[in-house]
Amino acid sequence: MGLDMDLQSIQEVRDLIRNAKKAQEEFSTFDQRRVDGIVKAIAEACAANAEKLAKMAVEETGFGIWQDKVLKNLLGSTITYESIKDMKTIGVIREDGEKGIMEVGVPMGVIAALIPSTNPTSTVMYKTLISLKAGNGIVISPHPGAKKCILETVKVIQEAARKAGVPEGLIGVIQLTTLEATDTLLKDPNIGVILATGGEAMVHAAYSSGNSAIGVGPGNGPSFIERSANIPQAVRRIFDSKTFDNGTICASEQSIVTERCIEKQVVEEVKRQGGYFMDEAQTAKVAGFILRDNGTMNPKIVGKSAQAIADMAGIQIPKGTRVLVSRQTEVSKRNPYTREKLCPILAFFVEEGWQEACERSIQILQNEGAGHTMTIHSEDTDVIREFALKKPVSRLLVNTPGALGGVGGTTNLAPALTLGCGAVGGSATSDNITPMNLINIRRVACGVTELSDIRKKYNVPVADTVAYQPGPANSTSNDGGLTAEDVEAITRAVLARLKG
């Protein structure tokens, strides 16, 4: 009698973790040079298969554009490698002889990597590279809707790793994808940290698992076009971002917010560059496809083109439309246009001035996406500074596409496909996640002063107690050199103080 699939999947996960832990113990003895060579070999293999894996991802999931996923795969491999290759992560990573401090990189152990369906192959590449660079093993949990392309990506990685001398089992992947398997992975006490990229429920499960976790919540970034902006460039950047892989990167813009005084120019530019402003009836029809009855994003619209979404909703749009745009005046959980939309749909808000636009942006972020990302298009450094000081985001991107800027493609942020949202977003960090987030740092600190010197420096009085006086070198002593007479005297003093 065979085991049920859920039981088989639980056993598979336990075996994967056991094997990864054993392999990581051996891997932890590798020096920096050897680890770096392995990471390089894996990155090169991923880059060599970038196009094949991109096509597989689109064919399997139906999300996005394969040409754009090629660039995502290069971001997850070559660009990530170039960013991390010189990092010191193994052994002694920093020394300060003058201060008597030494820092040692300590791997976290086995990383549990949850992979989304929107960026499946690129996220596998990225998470594997940063995990191994930090000296860790990894067990990958594929999204069931992208299982085939994820398994193929892991196969490419495992083969490159084997040739490079990686211990067998260091890189594992769940073949039997069940809820029970994922739950077992998240809760296993041998997991060092969970890297959770995906839906809000899954991220919550990671943080509730009892293990350390780095999770990423939803994005819902507004993009403010301020009066000093180069409007054609601003709209081009927003549309480049929103149409890149049909909007499947969570850092992509979800709303345009602009000022009344430049409304006409912005509207004309949006139309000129392929944006279509839907009327009220069309807005209502499309709204019915954005959210499901449970209030979550409808997967049917994810990564689909504007035309495909229009066809689903039964509305007519001009040929060549790149982005569907809906004028909005209210923000709420019930308004799907003010929520995250991983497809070419944008809300459009007009405010009287930058102060009102600032408040509207905060309102949108607090509705969903707090701690994630927003963009501003402006040449006014004072306005940019005000936005930087007040917005509840971890990344404020200036004059750049949100999708590519947030992941470090068009900015100098660390290349990453896991973007921390900070405390305001319920995340453990606000960083773009790198290998440095996947090591503990052991600090070795030499003594540089004595207690008596600290007391003297800060004029702290010494307590009225019997001071330690070492006995003669040849005396009979105990307790670190105190004679029997010393101990008796101290005891009498303590008892007298207690009685007093």
Question: Domains in the chain, please, with CATH?
Answer: 5-217+435-443 (3.40.605.10), 222-412 (3.40.309.10), 462-499 (no CATH)
Say yes or no to pLDDT of 396 above 80: yes
Q: Work out the average pLDDT over 140-160.
A: 97
b/e per residue 212-228 (b: at least 16 CB within 10 A)? ebbbbbbbbbbbbbbbb
Percentage of the chain modeled with pLDDT above 70: 92
| CA atoms of 222 and 395, how far apart (whole Å) | 12
Percentage of the chain modeled with pLDDT above 90: 86
Q: Does residue 149 have an active-site annotation?
A: no
How would residue 474 be classed by pLDDT, with cut points 50, 70 and 90?
low
| CA atoms of 109 and 191, how far apart (whole Å) | 7
Say yes or no to pLDDT of 281 above 70: yes
Dihedral angle of Cα 360, 366, 367, 368, to the nearest 10 degrees:
120
> According to the 3-state scheme, what is the secondary structure of the chain?
CCCCHHHHHHHHHHHHHHHHHHHHHHHCCCCHHHHHHHHHHHHHHHHHCHHHHHHHHHHHHCCCCHHHHHHHHHHHHHHHHHHHCCCCCCEEEEEECCCCEEEEEEECCEEEEECCCCCHHHHHHHHHHHHHHCCCEEEEECCHHHHHHHHHHHHHHHHHHHHHCCCCCCEEECCCCCHHHHHHHHHCCCEEEEEEECCHHHHHHHHCCCCCEEEECCCCCEEEECCCCCHHHHHHHHHHHHHHHHHCCCCCCCEEEEEHHHHHHHHHHHHHCCEEECCHHHHHHHHHHHECCCCCECCCCCCCCHHHHHHHHCCCCCCCCCEEEEECCCCCCCCHHHCCCCCCEEEEEEECCHHHHHHHHHHHHHHCCCEEEEEEECCCHHHHHHHHHHCCEEEEEECCCHHHHHCCCCCCCCCCCCECCCHHHCCCCCCECCHHHHEEEEEEECCCCCHHHHHHHCCCCCCCCCCCCCCCCCCCEECCCEEHHHHHHHHHHHHHHHHC
Report the chain's mean pLDDT, rounded to a whole number: 93
The whole-number pLDDT of residue 268 equals 98
8 A C-beta contact, residue 340 and residue 247: no
Q: Pull the structure tokens for residue 397.
A: 């991107």
How would residue 470 be classed by pLDDT, with cut points 50, 70 and 90?
low
8 A C-beta contact, residue 118 and residue 57: no
Least Cα distance to 403 among 198, 214, 246 occurs for 246
Say yes or no to pLDDT of 495 above 70: no
Say yes or no to pLDDT of 121 above 70: yes
Q: What is the pTM of this model?
A: 0.90
In sequence order, the 6+-apart residues with CB closer than 8 A to the CB of 115 are: 123, 124, 127, 140, 141, 142, 143, 146, 150, 197, 198
From the candidates 46, 149, 250, 343, which is the catalytic residue?
Answer: 250
Q: Work out the average pLDDT over 323-352.
A: 97
Burial of 277 (0-12, 13-18, 19+ CB in 10 A): middle
How would residue 479 be classed by pLDDT, with cut points 50, 70 and 90?
very low
Say yes or no to pLDDT of 484 above 70: no
**Least confident piece of the model among 115-124, 206-215, 349-358:** 206-215
Q: Work out the average pLDDT over 190-210.
A: 88
Q: Work out the average pLDDT over 127-134.
A: 98
Question: Which amino acid appears at position 102 of this protein?
Answer: M
Q: 293 or 107, which is more confident?
A: 107
Q: 183 or 476, which is more confident?
A: 183
Q: Work out the average pLDDT over 339-355.
A: 97
